[in-house]
Structure 1
Amino acid sequence: MAFFTFHQNPSWAKLDIDPSSGIGPYIIIEAENANEANALAVDSGLYFDGSGDCPCCGNRWTPLWGDEKGSHAPEIDGEGVTEVPETTNSDGYVHYMDGRITAFVVGESMQAIAT
C-alpha cells in the first residue's frame, strides 16, 4: 500500500470543502497504485472532467499518472502530516483503505495544535 496526494486547485477562487465527505484542500488516499487511487478519489467525491470549473483557473482536480509511486506515509511535498480532531481547521483529509477518514494539518505538532 502507498499514499497518493491530490491537491485542489481553487476553481473560481474558492476551495470545495466538505468535512463530512473528507474533501479539503488536500486529499491523501491509501491505495495499491495510482490508478486505484484515482478510482477511490472519484468514489470519494473528486472529479477529473472539470465540469463546472473556472475556465481561467483550470480543473479543480487532476488525476494521477499511472506510474506515480506514492509515499510510505501520508505527506505533502515530502513533509509528514499530523492527524487532528475533526473540529480543527484542517489542511486536508486522509482516506484509508479500511474506510477511516482523518483530518490533518501539515508540519505542526499535536502540542502546537492543542494550545
Structure 2
Amino acid sequence: MIQLRVALLAVTSTFLLSGCAIKPAETVTVYKSKNAVQCETSGMSVQDSANTLSSYGVTVKSSHCGVLTETMFASVCGAKTGDIVFHDIGAREEALAAELGYTNIDALKTAELASGFAAVDCK
C-alpha cells in the first residue's frame, strides 16, 4: 500500500511540475535613430544607447548598428542620416524602452518589406 502511494505521488508530482516548466524570456528588438548629422557628427554610439537603456532598468541582450533602407535622405552637410542603433531586450521591458524613445523594429516592416533596415558594422 505504501509503495502504491509513493508511486502515485511520484507520478502526480511529475505531472504537476511538467506544467510549470520554465519558459525562456521572450525577446523583442527595439531601435532608435543615432541622430547623426552629415559632415558633423556620427551621433550616438551603440554603447551609449545600450548604457542609456541599462541605466533605466532595461536588460540589453545584444546591440547592433543599422541603416534605414526605405527612407531617402538628402546627401548634404547638416542633413540627418538613416543610421540607427537596435537592441534585443526582454519583451516585458518594451514599454520602458518606448518611454525612452525606442520603437519596436517590427514597425519598419510592411507587407512589401521584410525589414526596412539593414544591419551594418558599428563605427
Pairwise same-fold verdict (TM > 0.5): no
Provide TM-score, normalisation by structure 1: 0.29
Instruction: Give the TM-score of the pair, scaled to structure 2.
Output: 0.27
Which structure has the greater CA radius of gyration? 2
More helix by share: 2
